[in-house]
Amino acid sequence: MRLAKELGGVVINADSMQVYRDVPTLTARPSAGEEQAVPHCLYGFLEPEENCSVFKWAQLAAAQMRRAWQENKVPVIVGGTGFYLQTLIKGISPVPQVKEDTRAEIRRKFEQQGYEAFLKDFQQKDPSFALTDPQRLLRAAEVLEETGKSMTYWQSLPFQKEIEADYLCFLTDLPREKLYDRCNKRFEKMMQNGAIEEVRTLLAKNPPADSLILKAVGISEIRALLNREITREQAISHACQMTRNYAKRQLTWFKHRFHADIMTADAKSPYLLTKALRFLG
């Protein structure tokens, strides 16, 4: 927020959960006041049944970057979805998008056959694709159905970028004890500020089982709480543990796969603004 204010910037969301409309508290979206103080883009614009692939996000982010430049503003891209950031900066294999009909048919087969049978059938059709994560499996099956070519083929092609730009990359690196303490306080605060009602409203829409937003930390715990399967204390305890686990995985990913020009434990340091001003000339 401070960088965007000082630089005349536009905050562009790079968090795969904050693109969804229904759970602003649970996904820690910027407040209404923050969005009024500084222009914000790509927050809370999707319904739970809508898919936001990394390709779709990169196209939308690139469009917002071009718009910012046209208005003589600075794109300030913020978020913890590393794959989004990596794709924007380095590009990605040109895997084609598939039609919604193809996507729906593949998911119908998956639900009908079940994971194990679907995986066995797919491996016979495409033995070259080794990943077995359900989401990646479904994506590979969609691409094979639509194009007749394996995901392995498409991923072997040179990377393509949605936009050419120079980036100055900051990575926050808090001491582990402080980070975990913030993870714990974060979810407890969400529970006090309406997270339960948000999940109740979301579930009333009957989102599809493969909806990405259902993977947001805390939703499964709150759903179990609403179904009286666990207590409030159990929901908070488990969601805090999942938050800490996720934070640890994020740290590992960013430290090994993201090139940070500056790592800092103090996101309010004046040094960051100085570096940004020098970078912009």
Pairing of strands 262-264, 74-78: unpaired
Residue 98, by phi and psi: left (phi above 0), alpha (psi -120 to 50) or beta? Answer: beta
In the chain, ranges of CATH 3.40.50.300 domains:
2-92+161-280
202: number of Cβ within 10 Å: 23
| CA–CA gap between residue 250 and residue 170 (Å, rounded) | 14
- Indicate the pTM of the whole model: 0.86
Q: What confidence score (pLDDT) does residue 135 get?
A: 84
Task: Give residue for tokens 């797919």.
Answer: 122
Integer CA distances (angstroms), 61 to 120, 145, 166, in order: 37, 28, 15
Supply the pLDDT for residue 272.
Answer: 93
CB-based contacts of 165, cutoff 8 Å, min separation 6: 65, 75
pLDDT at residue 268 is higher than 90? no
pLDDT at 115: 92
**Is a pLDDT exceeding 90 seen at residue 71?**
yes
Mean residue pLDDT of the chain comes to 93
> Contact, 102 vs 51, CB < 8 A?
no
The domain defined by 2-92+161-280 folds into Rossmann fold (3.40.50)
pLDDT score, position 245: 95
Residue 40 exposure: Cα atoms within 13 Å on the Cβ side? 22
Looking at residues 117-134, what average pLDDT do you find?
92
Cα angle 33, 84, 129 (rounded to 5 degrees) comes to: 150
Whether the CB-CB separation of 136 and 229 falls below 8 Å is answered with: no
- Tell me the three state secondary structure of residue 72: coil
Residue 62 Rama label (left phi>0; alpha psi -120 to 50; beta): alpha
